[in-house]
Homo-oligomer: A and B are copies of this chain.
């Protein structure tokens, strides 16, 4: 039931006397907020249609995460990211149906079937060390109803490996590029395909890789052709950005 309908009901109740002015004021006191909440959280609301509550596991205790899984039991699917194996084991004692993905460090519990969206996301990685971030993106896409395939180990130092996989990339609607080191893969793919590209720098590397900042800065400096970038190691965020595009096509397409 949308805001307009609720407001109309309320005013009609005032008009026909089934609600007096004081009661109306009482309801309206919270209404702007509810309304704001209502209209402003449409993404959130839509997320509730089978979409997950999201928990950032890092810095939380296993107990805290376990509690969230329990509390959400009857309400929504849950996606927890940055979950250590110890945390996962603990949560599974409370919520046995939670599934742990050791590579992506995600823990999920699906409550209702997720409504699939049309259109695929390709997640490309430069090296095998970038796989955990790619996997976090893949799992997140899955929880958002978006099919995603990982095309791995096609870094620029062996450009032919990338060229071999171009046909696969061209089939996707959105491409997530996950790369550490100098992050050059985003530039190269950006010059080869016309789809929207979300680049994720990873903290893979040492010394001059600056824990991912060299990749981050490198990806940002090659944005001219329309590559946009998310935070270092932020596979989850890239998946959200990709989903927003996929979702937009359903809504307006």
Interface, chain A (partner B; CB < 8 A) = 4, 7-8, 11-12, 14-15, 17, 20-21, 24-25, 28, 31-33, 35-37, 39-44, 46, 54, 56, 58-60, 119, 129, 155-161, 163-164, 166, 173-174, 180-184, 187-188, 190-198, 201, 203-234, 236-238, 240-241, 243-245, 247-249, 252-253
Pair B159/A244 contact, Cβ less than 8 Å: no
* CB of A157 to closest CB in B, whole Å: 4
> What residues on B are CB-neighbors of A229 within 8 Å?
220, 228-230
Pair A244/B58 contact, Cβ less than 8 Å: no
Q: How far is the CA of A144 from the CA of B113 in the complex (A)?
A: 40
> What residues on B are CB-neighbors of A163 within 8 Å?
33, 36-37
> What residues on B are CB-neighbors of A219 within 8 Å?
182
Secondary structure type dominating chain A contacts: helix
> What residues on B are CB-neighbors of A8 within 8 Å?
21, 25
Pair A233/B207 contact, Cβ less than 8 Å: yes
Q: How far is the CA of A188 from the CA of B183 in the complex (A)?
A: 12
Pair B220/A208 contact, Cβ less than 8 Å: yes
Pair B221/A216 contact, Cβ less than 8 Å: no
**Chain B: which residue is nearest A54 at the CB level?**
B224
Pair A225/B240 contact, Cβ less than 8 Å: yes
Pair A191/B58 contact, Cβ less than 8 Å: no
**Chain B: which residue is nearest A9 at the CB level?**
B21
Q: Decide: A37 near B244, CB < 8 A? Known: A7-B25, A7-B28, A188-B188.
A: no
Q: How far is the CA of A11 from the CA of B110 in the complex (A)?
A: 45
A39, A42, A60, A207 interface centre (most CB from chain B within 10 Å): A207
Q: Decide: A230 near B234, CB < 8 A? Known: A157-B190, A216-B208.
A: no
Q: How far is the CA of A240 from the CA of B8 in the complex (A)?
A: 42
* CB of A30 to closest CB in B, whole Å: 8
Query: Which listed residue (B17, B183, B253) contacts A252, Cβ 8 A?
Result: B253
> What residues on B are CB-neighbors of A181 within 8 Å?
187, 218, 221-222
Pair B228/A228 contact, Cβ less than 8 Å: yes
Q: What would 30 A/B residue contacts be, using CB atoms closer than 8 Å? A: A7-B25, A14-B15, A15-B17, A15-B20, A36-B36, A36-B159, A36-B163, A37-B163, A40-B192, A41-B160, A43-B193, A58-B206, A156-B156, A157-B191, A173-B248, A181-B222, A182-B182, A182-B221, A194-B247, A196-B241, A196-B244, A207-B211, A207-B216, A207-B234, A208-B231, A226-B240, A226-B244, A227-B230, A229-B229, A253-B253
